[in-house]
Structure 1
């Protein structure tokens, strides 16, 4: 245990390997297997944790591999994960996705391949620029006959001009030599843009985990000692900013096709989070996904703008009338006119005119959003739902202007979920939006009726996203007249009502035509993707122009 104190004393020196300005909490030393289990360090002698930007070190395993004399090599490597590659959770997520594209049927290995790929950049940097003894660390870990391990070690031999069999076990074959040469070029070509080489590296690694019969050939357990980023995201929330990712390849361009930018779906995002060790509910993952998808499209939401009260401006003085309040007398001006004050003769009061106020009061229009979630609609938790995305765009836009939002997800009779009234909590709003029923279709008239028994304090706009199933608003069996309920809601809301509908026959739907004549603005669309454009035009068409009300 004597080495621990010496390592602690060299922590600042390890930080300066990367920059004089790097500040991180000192490494945490774990002295027993139980401590390692609590902290999430399993298998490796070192690991990082992005949650609190911490480096974890196993005292027992460092002693097992006789690594006590390599504090800068090991601590400098772990610091490199925090400040260089990947640096943050978002970059880690992108690398995980790119590796997954190149590793079909090997999803359980994506985080492992990403880990060894990142290690190549960090170790090469420390060896070339800081002249650390990185190869000696691998020599202490020991050689291995595994083909992937030897390919990986041969790459280091080429990067650092080491003699053959310094790290490899025996002479490597031509395929390993060729693959190692390719990877060596990638590491040197993309030292500051490692995302460019991730797909190619994972594609090169892929065959090493299958033999000629398609059965796994490499033993992943051989790598466990050096894996230090497997659960880097543990305890963290899903990362933001990952809705599409550039896929680049210098070697396997034919495999990725002409499409270089891949748009992620909810299932992709969920897989990425799982691979990084993020233990989050599906609702939290889907919430983050749709919020990020919506952010680039946010637009100003409807609001009424009214001028403030007119402002008074001093124009001069006039004779004070004895019948006016005495506090209106301007005594200074009166005594200037005459040292002898005679009320009604020498006293004056200020004369004011009015000018238009430059202040404008905004009166946000609240949003009452009804989203169809019947069996004809996609499940937003497994595939991209443009209904959910459009709802997120419009709801988040509404929140930006101070509006409150009520979201109702509806399917069959008495089958709906709604927010607790009109709220401003974006997470609760998106939690409802990203839910799913997948049942029958029956518009929740009872909710519409209950919400508009009285005139609301602020204007509301009622927006409904659906398909031909919207006719259930008028055709369902209900104790009271459905048409009267819808008409009353429109009148009490005072902010208008819109229906954006994917219709089989827009012109021939008599119920929808009747709705249009009764005051609803009908916006037919041909496919769900059109909802994104609708969400932008919706505000521009109805509210952005002519906002000033006199």
Structure 2
């Protein structure tokens, strides 16, 4: 019988190696090089994609290494990456980050180091718990007269009580013996907490790549690398803006023993190492959203008594910026069997009648964030003013508010959302952009937006520094003070300014703004913005959920 059919018949048995409840799509066999290239299986004879949890197998490479008789060993190993280690993209990202810290200047080796580290846990589990022939698979791959390969194979020899030379080649130096013994203890001590030992494992691997001649040795591992580009086709992971770094062997002050906050550039590097194909705006958006979530204010459902009762009046075209749940799919399908969002999709339109029902009435947010040269670039370094803006914007959206965000820098240099919207992704993508130029507040946006009173109350919030004085001092064709005063009056929801001022009481423009009705919040550093953002939301949004 052809070995492919045998392997297909072993699939359910391989799943049960890990649990009776594991369900995965059967492995996909690739018969030609073109199929392997199309699926992204170019080095190893087997791999698993975390995107769809599909195991890929190269028929030609399995035959080349004479592995036809090891169906359970290889299938069980690939399933182990899904079920056991790393299990998900977030844990994979943590391992990548920790390895990058432990191996400075050799981050190009990170995917390989992480992959073989994960393999140690999976293979040891299958050998000890399921009594599979994992050592025989490595025998088929052949020995290599290479220090790093011998160190790795010696670790397996110690784990499985194999005589020295079973998997290794030649006489091993004391350093290899010692390193392998340490790693074998790590694998046994942290079978359910592999993140904890990653820093030490990578630190032990680091010296093997010091010499230039050893830089090519990673090619021996290509046949084993089955989690390269594990994140290909996936979005940047959540839950990794802070990573706990532990070390028993190489404690470094400021690095190990506590949680370390990632910068946006570090987060972006992790995504690249995992093969995640996302532009910088997508990566930055995910980073700041994840960073902001713990600071969002849990709003109570304060209500307005005597609110009008809504009565269905008909349908209208659905706005792509509105929530998906507003779409009336039945009416949309009746209108057109071909669904085109924003063109054939409709949402229900309601009128009002008197009732005793209650309703929440939040105000909208008009947010202006300074991103001139004096501000940090949120795409490379953690920008607290961007983080504060994200916290406030997400908290406002949580109440049902619409938000307009404007990034501004020099003359005519600004980026703004398409009006007041509720599309979280579009709002955060604008917020996390950057100019880094001169400083000139965009008065034209205030002038154009507040020619007439808006339908709902709005709060105008400006985050800046001493550059806020350009609101009045720039060469604008019309009276800046009249424009600012009119906007504040028309908005009806108040105005606030969070300003990092070098001399808070000696800026005449700031004093004038405060006297004209703006709430001024001077701060000493950008970390103060986090405290402000929480207080601001509670003061302006919780309070304003009850409107007359």
**What TM-score results when the alignment is normalised by the length of structure 1?**
0.89
Residue 424 of structure 1 corresponds to which residue in structure 2? 422
1:126: which partner in 2?
126
> What CA distance in whole angstroms lies between the structure 1 residues aligned with 2:501 and 2:301?
29
- Counterpart of 1:239 (choices 237, 240, 248) is 237
Distance change (3 Å), C-alpha of 1:471 and 1:419 = same
Of 295-304 and 61-70, deviating more is 295-304
The SS at the match of 2:531 is helix
Equivalent pair of 2:247/2:257 in contact (CA under 8 Å): no
- Confirm or deny: 8 A CA contact 1:302 1:398 kept in the other structure: no
- 1 CA distance for matches of 2:449 and 2:26? 57
2:10 is matched with 10
Deviation at 1:250, TM superposition (A): 1.1
CA–CA separation in structure 2 for the residues paired with 1:369 and 1:310 = 30
State the alpha-carbon separation in 1 of the partners of residues 432 and 38 from structure 2.
34
| 1:175 alignment counterpart | 175
Match of 1:510 in 2: 508
- Give the superposition deviation at 1:241: 1.1
Q: Structure 2: how far apart are the matches of 1:97 and 1:276?
A: 10
Counterpart contact for 1:449–1:485, Cα < 8 Å: yes
Asked if the contact 1:379–1:436 (Cα under 8 Å) also holds between the matched residues in 2, the reply is yes
Kept in 2: contact 1:143–1:167 (CA 8 A): yes
- Tell me the residue number matched to 1:159: 159
Change (3 A) 1:466 1:93: same
Deviation at 1:242, TM superposition (A): 1.1
Partner of 1:205: 205
In the alignment, which of 396, 399, 402 is matched to residue 398 of structure 1? 396
Distance in structure 1 (CA, Å) of the matches to 2:210 and 2:307: 77
How big is each residue's C-alpha offset from its partner over 1:73-128, in whole Å with a ceiling of 9 and x where there is no partner? 00000000000000010010000001111000001011110000000000000000
Q: Deviations over 1:386-444 (max 9, x none)?
A: 11111100001111111000000000010000000000111100111111111110000
Q: How far does residue 260 in structure 1 lie from its aligned partner after superposition?
A: 1.5
Which segment drifts farther, 153-162 or 301-310?
301-310
Q: Report the CA distance shift for 1:497/1:259 in structure 2 as closer, same or farther (over 3 A).
A: farther
Aligned partner of residue 495 in structure 2, secondary structure = strand
Task: State the shift of 1:306 in Å.
Answer: 2.4
CA shift, 1:246, in A, is 0.3
Tell me the residue number matched to 1:527.
525
**Structure 2 residue aligned with 1:186:** 186
Structure 1 unmatched runs, 5+: 312-355
Q: Report if the CA contact (8 A) 1:302-1:543 is conserved.
A: no
Return the alpha-carbon distance in structure 2 between the equivalents of residues 305 and 253 of structure 1. Answer: 54
Partner of 2:28: 28
* Cα separation, partners in 2 of 1:109 and 1:241, compared to 1, 3 Å: same
Distance 1:549 1:217, change over 3 A: closer
Describe how 1:31-430 pairs up with structure 2 within 5 A: 31-211=31-211, 216-217=214-215, 219-254=217-252, 257=255, 260-299=258-297, 305-308=303-306, 359-430=357-428
CA deviation after TM superposition for structure 1 residue 253, in Å: 1.4
Q: Structure 1, residues 189-220: CA drift from partner, whole Å, max 9, x if none?
A: 00000001000000000000113xx6645611
Q: Structure 1 residues 154, 417: closer, same or farther in 2, change over 3 A?
A: same
User: CA offset at residue 541 of structure 1?
Assistant: 3.2
Aligned residues: 504
The verdict on how the C-alpha distance between 1:303 and 1:187 changes in structure 2, with shifts beyond 3 A counting, is closer
Asked if the contact 1:43/1:225 (under 8 Å) is kept, the reply is yes
- Mapped partners of 1:436, 1:540: distance in 2: 28
**8 Å CA contact retained: 1:243, 1:292:** yes
Task: From the superposition, tell whether residues 363 and 256 of structure 1 become closer, same or farther in structure 2 (CA, over 3 Å).
Answer: closer
Work out the CA distance in 1 between the residues paired with 2:301 and 2:521. 21
Q: Distance in 1 between matches of 2:254 and 2:63?
A: 45
Contact 2:369 2:407 in 1 (8 A): yes
How many angstroms does 1:477 deviate by? 1.1
Question: Retained in 1: the 8 A contact 2:139–2:167?
Answer: yes
Say if 1:309 and 1:8 are closer, same or farther in 2 by CA, change over 3 A: closer
Q: Does the CA contact (< 8 Å) of 1:148 and 1:218 recur in 2?
A: no
**Contact 1:208–1:218 at 8 Å: present in 2 too?**
no
Separation (CA, whole Å) in 1 of partners of 2:520 and 2:256: 39
Report Cα offsets for 1:282-322 as digits up to 9, x if no partner.
Answer: 111011000000100112579984211599xxxxxxxxxxx
